[in-house]
Amino acid sequence: MIKPQFPIDEEQRLAAVRSYHLLDTLPEKDFDNITALTANICDVPISLVTLLDADRNFLKSHYGIPFNESPRDISFCGHAILEESNIFIIEDARKDIRFKDNPLVTDMNAIFYAGVRLVNSEGYPLGTLCVFDTKPRILTKSQKKALTAMAYQVVNLFEARKRNRALLSVQKELRERNEELKNFAGVVSHDMKMPLANMIITSDMLRTKYGQHLDEQGKEYLDYIKQSSFTLSEYVTGLLEHYETDKTASLRNEPFDSQDLLEEIIELLNINVDCEINLPEENIEMQANKVALEQILLNLIGNSLKYNDKKKIKIDIDCEEKDGYYHFTITDNGMGIPKDRIGNIFDLFVTTGTLDRNGKKGNGIGLSTVKKLVNRLDGEIEVSSTLGEGTTFMFTIKKLN
């Protein structure tokens, strides 16, 4: 018997083998199906998917034998990975100097062997797809072709599992970072709100107590501090809502009426301009996440009010239940959205650059939060707009059972 040599790049080859994280793993149906089919095609009792480790031959799939590893120094596959040919065949191991005294031959009667190297995308032979028989034999041309094709599929499975593992790792890291960001946003929002409230109160106190000693420019500075504090407070609140959408979307409520919800929202908006809001004619008893839906509608209707330059604001709201979803449409006669901005209007921190009715610029958080909530409620949202004429938002949310 002659022990198999090690490849000259054995260290790199071993690193490649271990990068797939398949050593010492349990059997898998995908690989077992291949070995069973390969044994049937080649008309042999044994078929294996092997991975050559440092000192052993690990059998990822073993059809026809009860064990899942063997010493590398007696393995046929240790020789096979050194061959550059497409397929390594030993028709009668008893007549081959490399194998005639091998325990696999003398004790287990492994006479015939055929193996195809499992070469990864970097060119390293990881192991083999191989077959054994207890008697000499010759593979037909079609059997050789099938064995080679099956080996190609094994490598594809290896690569797919490696990609999936990498994706799962990335997803885990993203979830952890997102959770860290949520916690950070929560802490920052909480810690900033009180100082901002103090700044607003202090600016009012300064105006009341020392206003008579300030000139117009001084009073403007106080107004600027107060307004900036309000703006930052709204920004912080928006960020907090954005990163709490998962929590908000997971809440469940008792059934409620669509009409009551819309009337509550209009009352909350405290509208003090000339505005006509047309509600849906039909009242629907809704089974949905009321808190999330309220946040969505408050944001969209609030935008219709803010981004409107008409003397009389007009907002049409429609709602219907269809195919297990609630369909909402909100149309206004406002400023509209420029065509070059409408494609990414739902992206976080993206704004149209347009000042609202009060001369303030948006922060690009509200619509991103709306989209996240709609998606978390298994719905979709779309927007259409004509600059100077108005905007329509259409969204759906799934009815809860």
HEC profile for 324-385? CEEEEEEEECCCCCCHHHHCCCCCCCCCCCCECCCCCECCCCHHHHHHHHHHHCCCCEEEEE
Cβ pair 265, 296 in contact under 8 A: no
DSSP H helices, 2-82, are 10-18, 29-42, 76-80
Place of tokens 């690990």: 58
The secondary structure of 94-129 as a DSSP string is: GG-TTTTT-HHHHTT---EEEEEEEE-TTS-EEEEE
pLDDT at 207: 81
pLDDT at 222: 82
Instruction: Report the percent of the chain where pLDDT is more than 90.
Output: 61
pLDDT at 291: 83
pLDDT in tens, 9-24: 999 999 999 999 999 9
Residue whose C-alpha is closest to residue 290's, from 246, 253, 257, 245: 253
Cβ pair 114, 152 in contact under 8 A: no
User: For all residues of the chain together, what is the average pLDDT?
Assistant: 88
**Which range has highest mean pLDDT (175-179, 244-248, 269-273, 302-306)?**
302-306
Residue 314 reports pLDDT greater than 70: yes
CATH for the 10-168 domain, from 1.10.510.10, 3.30.450.40, 3.30.390.50, 2.40.160.20: 3.30.450.40
Instruction: State whether residue 74 is helix, strand or coil.
Output: helix
**16: Cα separation from own chain's centroid:** 27
Locate the domains of the chain by residue range.
10-168, 173-243, 251-398
Q: What pTM was computed for the model?
A: 0.54
Mean pLDDT of 323-328: 94
Count of CB atoms situated within 10 Å of the CB of 392? 16
Enter the tokens of residue 260: 């009551």
Mean pLDDT of 190-209: 77
Query: Which residue did the predictor score with more confidence, 72 or 217?
Result: 72
pLDDT at 369: 86
pLDDT at 186: 66
The secondary structure of 218-235 as a DSSP string is: HHHHHHHHHHHHHHHHHH
Query: Which CATH architecture describes the domain 251-398?
Result: 2-Layer Sandwich (3.30)
Cα gap 171→324, rounded to integer Å = 31
Q: pLDDT band at 221, cuts 50/70/90?
A: confident
Q: pLDDT band at 187, cuts 50/70/90?
A: low
pLDDT at 169: 84
Residue 95 reports pLDDT greater than 90: yes
pLDDT at 295: 87
pLDDT in tens, 252-263: 667 899 999 999
Instruction: State whether residue 142 is helix, strand or coil.
Output: helix
User: Residue 305 belongs to what H/E stretch?
Assistant: helix 290-306
Cα gap 81→234, rounded to integer Å = 65
φ/ψ bin of 270: left (φ > 0), alpha (ψ from -120 to 50), beta (otherwise) = left
Residue whose C-alpha is closest to residue 117's, from 49, 176, 168: 49
Residue 45 reports pLDDT greater than 80: yes
pLDDT at 191: 66
Mean pLDDT of 183-189: 66
Query: Quick one: 390 exposed, middle or buried, by C-beta within 10 A (0-12, 13-18, 19+)?
Result: buried
Mean pLDDT of 206-211: 83
Query: Which residue did the predictor score with more confidence, 215 or 134?
Result: 134
